[in-house]
Chains A and B, each alone.
Chain A
Amino acid sequence: MQNFDEVDFFTDKSLVNDPHIYFDYLRSKGPVVFLPARGVYAVTGFDEGVAVFQNEDVFSSFNSSWGPKPLPFTPVGDDINDLIEKHRGDDIAFQMISSLDPPAHTRLKSLLRGLITPKRLKENEEYMWGLADGLIDEFIGQGSVEFMSSYAKAYATLVIADLLGVPEEDRDEFRTIFQQSMGLGMIDPSPQDAVHPLPLIGGKFFQYVMDRRANPRQDVLTSLAQMTYLDGELPGPDVVVALSTFLFAAGQETTVRVIGGMLRILAEDQALQAKIRADRSLIPVFIEETLRLESVLKTDYRLTRVRTKIGDVELEAGTPVMLCISAMNHDPRKFENPHAFNLDRPNVRDHAAFGRGVHACVGAPLARAELKVTLERLFDRTSHIGIDESRHGAEGSRTFTYDPSYVVRGLSELFLTLTPKS
């Protein structure tokens, strides 16, 4: 039996396949628990975590992508707001939109206001249907498929590419670039890893922005390139590039993994699959329960700006807080029998898989549409989806491997068998 008191969540690969064994152990000590290995407070309680998310005045997102690494400064005193802002420039991780605090965050986010609107989503959804079909065409005749590389990655990449208005002729290039994972929160980051996708995307977007500002067209890229802040000021091209790159990253790492999670659940549970095939109106709740159960973004981070409390626990200013979103979504005080998949769960939509508060996922409606279209089209085009036993073993003794990341939960590979509809 593992000694969980001594384990380091951020480097221990044995915690990857099922993080809940460890999270439940933490929860047994309380909804807010100090992890001495890294000096962070882990929050596993749903209510406690949501309160942190909702309180950006007290909890800075400075370390949201920094994770458990030591801060670039030593907190001093009861209010570290000035220290936080002084160190923004220390690393790109402190300047991403997800790490900013209001008012800078509010200002930057306003640039997205034309992008993910009901109208744009409707247009994007039309594209998704054709895209799903085209990708399915590529493998449906084979009878089996490695779903992450043959569908999930390409689909998630191309949907964002379409949303941002990447020209058709460049989309294959984007697809190739994103076959390589971005390695978010990897336990063993290898310096020999192949080229990171984001700088390549950044280069393309710089070209697009400069071109559309010089030669505007009637397209989404032009709207993106020309979007001003609310006061009318035009952002520098680097700002637009950074934002576009961020959206690619955000829409990739997460959506890809939920797609994998959904298909694994359906392929493993044939009765559930049959039920949803017979009644497609169940697809939305199926998606929500998958989002809750899988909680693809396992952890997020905050930093106390002032002395404060979470639940009963007092924290000094400058204390890193690890929001264990997976654990929050498996809090038995909130979700009965939380580790079980339950299509009839009454409060399924209360889950916090997309976060809460000012940093709540802007892509949530996009993600939901992507997931829905994926299932609808797969159900239209196949009569059966199963687990490829030659790869994952027989029922009852399956082997699934998850990417060794302490931030995201996702299958490295998912081999499925498919029977095309005649």
Chain B
Amino acid sequence: MHARILSSCLSALVLAGILGFDSAIAKLPAELKQQIAAIQAVGPEGAGNPAAAIAFKELSASRTDAILPLLRAIESSGPLARNWLRSAVEVIVERELRSQKTLPVDGLRVFLLDTRQAPEARRLAYDLLAKIDPASAKKLIPGFLNDPSTELRRDAVAQLVTKGKSLTEDDKAAAIATYRKALDAARDVDQVKVIATELSETLGQEVDLPRHFGFLVHWQVIGPFDNSGRDGFAAVFPPEKKVDLDAAHAGKGEEQVKWQPLVSTNEYGKIDLNKPLGKLKEVTGYAYSEFVAEQAGPAELRLGCKNAWKIWLNGELMFGRDEYHRGQRIDQYKMSVHLKEGKNVILVKLCQNEMKEKWTVEWEFQLRVCDATGTAILSTGRPATPRAEAATK
């Protein structure tokens, strides 16, 4: 009951925030608008820094009524300007709290619950509220379970994980349900791993991690092509010119190479070229996959890889990196892309170098498609995740 009342109050506050949003922007003093604009104008290689510094000095001398406009401006700001605005808020808050002044608590709460605002800024608003009234702020956490802010969501997931642990001993069914709820909401890899381990190892449940993350596990691969002297990264081999899955090409040493299927059964979607092509050195391979988008729109390709790589979406080079064996993790590289409706084709180039140490054996990558919060976007008609047992047959 209490939670329902709290929820109703929060809904009212959000509504008030939404209704008041546009008028609040319109009412901004011209001076404040100019200062924010000066900060939002910062650009590459230090452009705009001097003007931003002047604006910052003026802004940070503002009273607490500037806090909310500054937080709101974060949504429409670039990555550098966001930090300028954040820093101005911090200076104001620090000074005002030292002077025993109060922060605009109601406004911060409305801002926090307005999911149109920048996720990082909303987390900052939460931290400010928690600084003033930790108990009240904590009560908001369960409401963040499916929040666009992964930082806010993280706290709600953590609460469920704690609850799941407490239930495991006495009420297995409730523990499973709690962990499932936590898993559905979890986006941070460390939390997902903890939950998946509890579900599978402690509670004997099946967990489809490739599907949860949206890893692409069905590929066609071809290789090896040459990478002697690490020249393969810049070289243009036939798959870069045209992907023809029926074609054969001259590979390294004039060996004829053909496309072949590779299906990953790794729970974190690792596509290991060593398996079909052998543990080779100074070689280049390609992997091709198709992704059917239900609708056109923004997405992220997130890659983990410790070899040199390039990636193309629908024939357009997204990014490439010639670093070898310095480490790999899920979501190591995040690339904002635009998916077209229907079939999208993804080509990955993967170069293995000459190093002989045992920690340089890997020739693999893991790629997923998701939205900006890390929520998986699944290909239409995505096949069932292959099971390890089936793959060994």
Q: Do A and B interact?
A: no
Contact residues of B with A, CB < 8 Å? none
